Amino acid sequence: MALPYFYVTDLSSSTLTLEEDTSKHIIQVLRMQLNEQLLLTDGKGKKATAVIIDDNRKRCTVKLTDVIHEPEKATGVTIGISLVKNASRFEWFLEKATEIGVTEIIPLLCDRTEKEKFRHDRLQSILVSAMLQSQQCWLPVLHEPINFGEVVKQTTTANKFIAHCLPNEKQQLASTLAHHSPLTTQAAIILIGPEGDFTEKEIATALQLGFQPVALGNTRLRTETAGMVAATLLCQLTSE
Amino acid sequence: MALPYFYVTDLSSSTLTLEEDTSKHIIQVLRMQLNEQLLLTDGKGKKATAVIIDDNRKRCTVKLTDVIHEPEKATGVTIGISLVKNASRFEWFLEKATEIGVTEIIPLLCDRTEKEKFRHDRLQSILVSAMLQSQQCWLPVLHEPINFGEVVKQTTTANKFIAHCLPNEKQQLASTLAHHSPLTTQAAIILIGPEGDFTEKEIATALQLGFQPVALGNTRLRTETAGMVAATLLCQLTSE
């Protein structure tokens, strides 16, 4: 049975007083007691074993007994994905992308994006739960929504892809990755469009700026499914 | 704009009277009229263009004008996956697996499966919606739940995989597929365990019967996420 695993924003001091919610969870819900062990991460690669030295249910205090640091992946995966009308589908994508191990998520505002209010705090907490659930110690970076145009202009990532549904010439992302092993040592970004796809103008702009057009299989995928499929292929085929 | 797309159980006759629900949707919701065109599929590879010849809102009748038949994939993908406690997570898996293009889904009853009632009709309708949504004309076969032991004994598929979390020796499914091109011409099945994983006994039985142990990346995935990741890798890396 793995030790209970919690998120804290800072792991730099050797003794920590945890926030009220976390303290309540540990002392009241899990009924943990003095000298019991738990795990903590700062979501920036640090994973610490700690022991409870004050079981106050509002200000539980722990002492770190062991800290390991997991280096950041060289093959970071960034998913730029349009917001979708149905907020729960976007939240679902965030959970799955985190479980799968993406490093960065950029919500895109495209010509055809039907904007939804963006609740960063709520979405951030979904990322944290998914990171802990999947026993990772790197929290994906979740950006505020950015306009498509700015993202394609500013991206300097080594491997740049854009997934679209127009019948134009494009490769399957899966075969591109399976047959180009150099990719496995470099970071990658892929852009996923809204319901109704990117506009021809958006696609043309991305191609001019060096994005490679790719397909994600032969079926028509929902935005959040496409994001998940892209995250799977990039995380699994660039992390060998 | 694609034509509206509907599911019918039988496309063998050239004139069809559609069921009441479908008729209502076409005539009342979409307000379609005499002589307008729509698409139909039987979920068994047939896709027909049809024209409305009777706009009765309870018994809309159409005449097929063109029928194409898409052959079944040689590289069929079967996912055997444990039922999970949270029904909506299993339903979510069914939607995504269908969008991605799996051919067969076997709900598994494993030693650690926390059984939930299995509502075949409701789940079937999720498959149908996802098939139409993703513009496919093959409906995945959804089995009734089967005991793990029976499935591993009865499977005759060419490529048999079992994904588990024990630290035993196993390959990454992604690299196995990326580097074994013969696979791309054969069907495959993968087994995904319940929360808490397969038991050692279950894994041993599967290995004895020729299942290859595989990992689905380096993070700990929820059951439904593991199913989706496996579906993505198998559908995308065996369908080239």
Residue of B nearest to A180 (CA): B178
pLDDT at B37: 96
Q: At what angle do helices A87-100 and A120-133 cross, to 10 degrees?
A: 40
Candidates A84, A236, A237, A240, partner chain B, best to mutate (most B CBs within 10 A):
A236
Q: How far apart are CA B118 and CA B143, in angstroms?
A: 10
Can you read off the two tokens belonging to residue A144? Answer: 């505020």
How many CA atoms are closer than 13 Å to the CA of B3, on its beta-carbon side? Answer: 15
A123-154 confidence digits (pLDDT tens)? 999 999 999 999 999 999 999 999 999 999 99
Instruction: Please name the CATH architecture into which domain B77-238 falls.
Output: 3-Layer(aba) Sandwich (3.40)
- Asked if the domains A5-69 and A77-238 are classified in one and the same CATH topology, the answer is no
Name the nearest CA neighbour of B93 among B178, B169, B170, B194. Answer: B194
Quote the ipTM score: 0.91
Give the chain B residue whose CA is nearest to the CA of A2. B196
Q: Using the 8-state DSSP alphabet, how is residue B44 labeled?
A: B
pLDDT digit string (tens) for A90-126? Answer: 999 999 999 999 999 999 999 999 976 899 999 999 9
* Nearest Cβ partner for A100 among B92, B134, B217: B217
What average pLDDT does this structure show over B74-99? 94
* CA nearest to A231 within chain B: B229
Contact across the interface for B217 and A174, Cβ inside 8 Å? no
Mean pLDDT of B226-232: 97
pLDDT at B239 over 70: no
Question: Residues A165-187: what's their mean pLDDT?
Answer: 79
**pTM higher than 0.80:** yes
Closest CB from A219, A228, A240 relative to B101:
A219
Strand B146-147 vs strand B171-172: parallel, antiparallel, or unpaired?
A: unpaired
What are the tokens at B34?
A: 């005499």
DSSP calls for A160-215: EEEE--SSSS-EEHHHHHHT-GGGGGS-EEEEE--TT---HHHHHHHHHTTPEEEE
Beta carbons of B206 and B95 less than 8 angstroms apart: no
Chain A residues with CB-CB distance to B135 below 8 A: 219-220
pLDDT confidence bin for B21, thresholds 50/70/90: very high
- Please say whether the dihedral angle defined by the alpha carbons of residues A55, A56, A57 and A59, taken in this order, is positive or negative: negative
Which pLDDT tens digit goes with each residue over A19-35?
999 999 999 999 999 99
CB contact under 8 A, B225 and A172: no
Asked if residue A185 lies in contact with residue A200, where contact means CB atoms within 8 angstroms, the answer is no
What is residue A142's predicted lDDT score, i.e. its pLDDT?
97
CA–CA separation, A72 vs A62, rounded Å? Answer: 26
| pLDDT over 70 (residue B59) | yes
Residue B101, SS3 per DSSP = coil
Q: Which superfamily, per CATH, for B5-69?
A: Hypothetical PUA domain-like; domain 1 (2.40.240.20)
Strands (E), chain A: 5-7, 15-17, 37-41, 46-54, 61-69, 77-82, 104-109, 141-142, 146-147, 159-163, 171-172, 188-192, 212-215
Over its C-alpha atoms, chain A yields an Rg (Å, rounded) of 20
Nearest chain B CA: its distance from A34 CA (Å): 28
Collect all residues of chain A within an 8 Å Cβ-Cβ radius of residue B219.
99-101, 134-136
| B59-76: average pLDDT | 92
B residues 74-113 closer than 8 Å to A (CB): 92, 96, 99-101
Which two three-digit tokens encode residue B215?
A: 């990992």
Domain ranges for chain A: 5-69, 77-238
Average pLDDT of every residue of chain B: 92
